[in-house]
Structure 1
Amino acid sequence: MRFAVLGETAVRTEDGTLVRVPELKVRALLAALLVDAGRPVAAFRLVDDLWGDEPPGNPLRALQAKVSQLRRAFEEAEPGGRGLVVTQAPGYLLAAPEGALDAQEFTRLAARARETADPRDRAVLLGGALDLWRGPAFADFAEEPFARAAADRLEEERLTVREALAEARLDAGEHDLLTGELAELVALHPLRERLRAVQLRALYGAGRQSEALAGYEELRTLLADELGLDPSPELTALHAAMLRQDASLSAPMPMPIPIS
């Protein structure tokens, strides 16, 4: 089976058939186990995840019933599926096979990209990682306490990969395309210096030097007003390079990114 958390929590069989997991509490159990896929989750914690401040009269028995329902759903979808939900002290674990969780595949592709020197190849890997996303992480349970930290971590990793993809495309010469595409992302995350640096380099390389300099001043003001900080040394150095029209900021010839 294959599991997905980069969007709504979902399970599919190896042939791609969506597995129907009935009842909200059973789906919440699945999500709670996927937060710690491959590691046992304490029974008392699962009870708290599913029922919070209003546990049932016999919480462990109620949890066992939800575990049985989840196992039954897996078994009906794929023979042997029930064995993926393992009883292991101090509770239960979801034994997702290696590479069966989309979040793990996302991390793997991002790690491969970091080790790839060619910007075109790096962009292909990063684009493939981002293509795994179908919506916000743990979209159906992102506001639940048990999923919130994991969802936030994945969203941060997603944004980091988007920044890395923008850098790879910049290195491949896509300055003009990036200036438009980055505007919305920068508006959503105006204080992220790495993201802003890519935008400034793209604007400068596209011949829009005055906009690049204005973008730096906007960020400097935001950092001072909202965080009481100055721009990082790296961003300050970029600003100085733009002021002296450093030749290293000139845009390279565009190199097409191959479509996978």
Structure 2
Amino acid sequence: MSALAVRVLGELTVDGTDLTSLDRKARALLLLLALARGRPVSTDALADALWGDGPPARPSDQVAVLASRLRRVLGREHIPRSDAGYRLRADWLDLAELEAMVNEIEDRPGAAEARVLAGAALALIRGPIAEVRGTATWAVVERAAAERLIQRARRVAAAAFLAAGQGRDALELATADSTTDPLDEAAVRTVMRAEAVEGRPALALAAYAALRERLADQLGADPAAATEELHMAILRGEFPIRSPWRAPSVVSHIAGADR
């Protein structure tokens, strides 16, 4: 049995394997099984996700044909079928690896290894996960869970960078996230912490003020208690300012490697 390494964080790929010989539906089946992370998925659920309201005459047979195509490329042992359905038997899956890294960082946020793990976790996130065609609830839920894992990884990475004194890296991550979702209070809090630690409390307070205005205008709400507490801590000058020395930016290095 040959080892199988599957990546879905970005373009769907299998290390050492050319997937171009597979048609769109076969690749979609591989993506669905990868998002299920090794759990079996019934034929009916797969057919629903692959064809939605316009299934072929014999959908179970067509799913079997697609599975056969995957087996020819990946090996029969990697796409087993049981009474519960089909599943992907991968030796390595980037989603599972990312979750393990995030859990380890969260378990030891102040450890020296946390920053290294954070950089490795970010390197796994090569881009957005491919869209799941159709509206099958289970498939949409699985993809949404993977997207939440990416967001969680970015947050814990930013926290690890801050704990290691790398405010610039934390600021780059959080600024990107708060730009994508201006109402993401967790990201804005990281921006505030990073600006304060980097010796720019005025910018931290400006980020708070902008968030408060957006929340009031769009939701008619005030910032969360954690945001208000952070705001007061910055006003009181309770954040230590880091030294002028700056290590190379991990986030910029990773972004540069992707170009």
Q: One fold, TM greater than 0.5?
A: yes
Give the secondary structure class of the aligned counterpart of 2:191: helix
2: distance between equivalents of 1:178 and 1:4?
Answer: 25
Equivalent residue, structure 2, for 1:48: 48
Aligned residues: 245
Indicate yes or no: 2:107 matched with 1:68: no
Q: Which amino acid aligns with 1:145?
A: T
Question: Is 1:236 the equivalent of 2:228?
Answer: yes
Q: Which residue of 185, 190, 213 corresponds with 1:198?
A: 190
1:103-114 alignment to 2 at 5 Å?
103-114=95-106
Match of 1:207 among 199, 207, 216: 199
| 2: CA distance, partners of 1:181 / 1:131 | 13
CA RMSD for the aligned pairs?
A: 2.5
> Any unmatched runs of 5+ in structure 2?
251-259
Runs (4+) of structure 1 exceeding 6 A deviation are none
Structure 1 residue 103: deviation in Å? 0.5
For 1:128-168, what per-residue CA distance to the aligned partner results, in whole angstroms no more than 9, with x for missing partners?
0111122112x2x3454354332322222222222222222
Seen in structure 2, the aligned counterparts of structure 1 residues 93 and 69 have a Cα distance that, compared at 3 Å, is same
The CA distance in 1 between the partners of 2:249 and 2:197, in whole Å, is 22
- Which one of 224, 241, 244 corresponds to residue 251 of structure 1? 241
How much does 1:257 deviate? Answer: 7.8
Is 2:5 aligned against 1:2? yes
Give the Cα separation in 2 of the matches to 1:244 and 1:183. 23
Structure 1 counterpart of 2:93, which letter? L
Q: What is the aligned partner in structure 1 of residue 253 from structure 2?
A: none
Aligned to 1:85: 79
Identical counterparts, % of pairs = 34
Q: State the SS of the aligned residue for 1:41.
A: coil
CA contact (8 A) 2:52 2:134 kept: no
Structure 1 unaligned spans of 5+: 75-80
Match of 1:125 in 2: 117
Output the amino acid matched with 1:183. T
Contact 1:109/1:129 (CA < 8 Å) preserved in 2?
yes
- Which secondary structure does the structure 1 equivalent of 2:46 belong to? helix
Equivalent residue for 1:167?
159
Inter-partner Cα distance in structure 2 for 1:232 and 1:143:
36
Q: Offset of 1:228 from its aligned partner?
A: 2.5
Structure 2 Cα separation of the partners of residues 144 and 132 of structure 1: 27
| Distance in 1 (alpha carbons) for counterparts of 2:169 and 2:106 | 23
Instruction: Summarize deviations over 1:51-83 as a string: whole Å, max 9, x none.
Output: 222222222222222221211122xxxxxx212
Equivalent residue for 2:179, pick from 181, 187, 195: 187
